[in-house]
Amino acid sequence: MSEPQPLIGILSQKGRNPLYPFGEQTGYFRNLIRYGRTLGVEVIVFTSASINLIRGLVMGHTWLDTPRGKRGWVSRLHPIPKVIYDRTFYYRGCPYGEYIGKVLTRLKEIPGVRFINPIDLMNFTVNKQRTAAVLKDWVGLTKNIPASIPLRSLEKSQEFISSFSRVFIKPNFGSAGEGIHTLEQVKRNFLLKGYNRNQVVYWVSRNLGAIDRRLARRVRPTKCILQAGLDLAKFQGRPFDVRVLVQKNRGADWDITGYAARLAGRGGYLTNLHRGGMAQPLEKVLVNIFGRGTGAGILDEVKKICLNTVTAVENKVGPFGEVAVDLGVDKEGRLWIIELNSRPGRTIFQKIGARSLKEKSITNVLEYGQYLLTLPFGEELGVGEGIDDTVDSDLAGEDVAGVLGVNLDEPDSACGIDTQVDTQLT
């Protein structure tokens, strides 16, 4: 009887379309499964509702390509994987976020289970205020963090607002550009900008209190931060930022997998691809704006800052496998860390025609997962300083019956998130 293959599990949400059982990530998961076979690793996808902690089993789904061209998803029971790649998307505070947080905590408590990206990384990166504070205290990054303060009301924050030509209003916990607004003073008026889907909308008033009330209809101001607006460089008349994917390789060493420039949609200020943004090769953009010599110097600094950033984050949360770093480049060529993303997509490499980078982004995940599988039981990866708000591990009660082996539908996994996430790979 042959030895069972090493097993890596991808934890995901269920999609609503049977043709794409894991939503926009379905294509990405297929590629992970296919490459896993070349490594001799079995890769499965499972959902939180399929976990049976009592029996130590999950219902795992894998993709089959048959010689006669018949393809499809097949399912069977597997032991709970010893290496888990968490690709769930949620807002903290929503029912699904609370549910999945408890599930992850319980999985983390199982002896021998390791995560490519642990829950502490997600809890850290979604909190913009805390991320900025930690990075600002790290040697070599202090000058790369934009000024920011917690928002109580715009009227009470007028001193901060008047210090900059423009400020960003950002939900402290959020993703995909959801809820981000800008505020600037134009002569005697205050101009607030936001998005309705991909369309930029405006509100103008001389009264900051009126702007406050308008903002409160769209976001919860007390759950937001104010961040200094950056005078970003522009390419073809559009502001842009830089997306850098940093991953560990098969030796568990940090590596810059790839990078690209993300341009805002026409008339917009958000660079997210599903908000109308577009991608361009970063070298092309930097050379066009700053010239070959200066552009090369900025690119070197991008790499240096990103590697320093993952070191700072790992010092806080402990070892992890990948993160995307988003950087702004101002008109003087200075770099600013905008935010971190612990669930990075790969579409951007496809958009710039960098197929090799797309493939490398897949192989790195599995090769690091393979490294975790080879670690002897009980060998610690190391720990970070820790963060203050780890998820409560008490799973008593009917809310988590699904993880105790009872058939229970997950809470709504969307939680208000735009599910057109930047993760599709075909």
The CATH number that domain 124-145+232-364 falls under is 3.30.470.20
Task: Give the Cα separation of 265 and 170 in Å (integer).
Answer: 19
**Mean pLDDT calculated for residue range 82-101:** 77
CATH class of domain segment(s) 7-109+393-403:
alpha beta
Q: Is the pLDDT of residue 318 over 90?
A: yes
pLDDT band per the 50, 70, 90 thresholds, residue 198: confident
Q: What is the pLDDT of residue 274?
A: 67
**Mean pLDDT calculated for residue range 232-261:** 94
pTM: 0.86
Structure tokens at 46: 């499972």
Q: pLDDT by residue (tens digit) across 11-34?
A: 998 888 888 999 889 999 999 999
Q: What is the pLDDT of residue 403?
A: 38
Q: What is the pLDDT of residue 2?
A: 54
Distances 10 to 77, 82, 129 between C-alpha atoms, Å:
14, 11, 29
Q: What is the pLDDT of residue 96?
A: 64
Domain boundaries, the chain: 7-109+393-403, 124-145+232-364, 148-228
**Mean pLDDT calculated for residue range 170-192:** 83
Average pLDDT, the chain: 84
**Mean pLDDT calculated for residue range 65-80:** 84
Contact 5, 40 (CB under 8 A): yes
Q: Is the pLDDT of residue 102 over 90?
A: no
Q: Is the pLDDT of residue 255 over 70?
A: yes
Q: What is the pLDDT of residue 82?
A: 95
Q: Is the pLDDT of residue 49 over 80?
A: yes
Q: Is the pLDDT of residue 266 over 90?
A: no
Q: pLDDT by residue (tens digit) across 274-302?
A: 666 789 999 999 999 999 999 999 999 99
Give the ranges where 146-200 is alpha helix by DSSP (H). Answer: 158-162
Widest distance between CA atoms in the chain:
80
Q: What is the pLDDT of residue 337?
A: 96
Residues 145-159 as b/e (b if ≥16 CB within 10 A, e otherwise) read: bbebeebeebeebee
Q: What is the pLDDT of residue 401?
A: 37
Q: Is the pLDDT of residue 311 over 50?
A: yes
